[in-house]
Structure 1
Amino acid sequence: MKKTLFLVMDMMNDLVAEDGFNAQTYGVQVKERGVLERTKAAIAAARAAGALIGYVRVGFSADYREAPEASPIFSGARKNGIFQLGTWGTEVHTSIAPQPQDFDIVKHRVSPFYATSLEAVLRANKVERIVMCGVSTNGVVHSGAREAHDRDYEVVILDDCCAGVTPDEHMHAIACMGRYGRIVESTEFDWAA
């Protein structure tokens, strides 16, 4: 098996929980697409095959010192009091909760690579392939796929373990990512290959 890291990205309560801040936006698509259930099964398959698991979470200090005020994405976090590290909102959803050996990668921007520990984790563990999923498809997943490609990793995106705010948003993002990696359904991916 190629040395693989499965990145589960931004599957935090503020984004995916039925009673989270974004329950009426991302939460709707996460539920309709069965993202949490499919991601849970994919994590189990990855673990069984010996893949490493990493969780990427967006989060800020209580005073939002890392959040850019001019960002159309992150200025809303400050205004709405979400994405605060150390709160329920930035914890990974309990249905797919990390285990002690998993990597916790905290980011302050859209990209899972920018100013995070991800690069060090990949190098230290001699990772060759990054399998990824998350919310949102056109945010962290799209950014992660492009950047992983440009760092010469094999990229695999689990289509059915991703969601956007709308079905169209997800579909368009997936269509673009086919240039940077392989798009597969989670049940069709052979973790042992």
Structure 2
Amino acid sequence: MASESILLVMDMINDLVHPEGAGGKSYVPLMQARGVYENTVRAIARARAAGMMVGHVRVGFSPDYREVPDSSPVFTKARDNGIFKLGTWGTEVYTDFAPRPGDADIVKHRVSPFYGTSLAPLLSARGIRRLVLAGVSTNGVVSAAVREGHDRDYTCVILEDCCAGATQDEHEFALAGLRRFAQVTTADSF
């Protein structure tokens, strides 16, 4: 089953999850309190040991933010604050989760990891049918991946202890809505 699965570590970039990143005040406290950093390191190690592919999904934009739609309250805020700029420290994967040679690097310009990215062709080419999901935010990229993955006929597994929202309520509310589309488990049980 490992060769038919991929662990997607989503939006675990410095701008969002590094204590000194722009989003550090939003996600870092809950990630620290819930052990998300340690759990994600353990999940990545377990996936690699099982021969499972690891992919890193990163939100990012050109230096001039040409991909940001003026209608998006999320991404116009990023543009206005100068974050999620590709080629900068902020869009690099957090060091503890650093990619290795052979890992997939999927850059996205929207919430969904599927929209306008290389993810679908990668999954098809590799014969992957099962998505194991970790990342921030639970109500953002994780939710989008589960819903779209489900509708594309993938088996979706959420590593609950490798995800966070800006608040515990946000995280739990998102999970409550996703349980009908995905298995919810932990870093030690996938």
Structure 1-normalised TM-score? 0.96
Q: 1:114-135 CA deviation, whole Å, 9 max, x = no partner?
A: 0000000000000011100100
1:108 aligns with 109
2:140 aligns with 139
Please state how far the C-alpha of 1:97 moved relative to its aligned partner.
0.2
Cα distance between partner residues in 1 of 2:76 and 2:38: 31
1:57 aligns with 58
Cα distance between partner residues in 2 of 1:67 and 1:100: 30
Please state how far the C-alpha of 1:13 moved relative to its aligned partner.
0.3
Please state how far the C-alpha of 1:72 moved relative to its aligned partner.
0.8
**Secondary structure at 2:74's aligned position in 1?**
coil
1:117 aligns with 118
Cα distance between partner residues in 2 of 1:146 and 1:121: 18
Report sequence identity in percent. Answer: 57
Cα distance between partner residues in 2 of 1:70 and 1:148: 25
Report the number of matched residues.
189
**Secondary structure at 1:170's aligned position in 2?**
helix
1:81 aligns with 82
1:25 aligns with 26
Structure 2-normalised TM-score? 0.98
2:70 aligns with 69
Gaps in structure 1 of 5+ consecutive residues: none
Please state how far the C-alpha of 1:185 moved relative to its aligned partner.
1.4
**Over aligned residues, Cα RMSD in angstroms?**
0.7
- Counterpart of 1:149, as a letter, is H
Please state how far the C-alpha of 1:155 moved relative to its aligned partner.
0.6
Cα distance between partner residues in 2 of 1:5 and 1:87: 26
Q: Which aligned runs of 4 or more in structure 1 are off by greater than 4 angstroms?
A: none
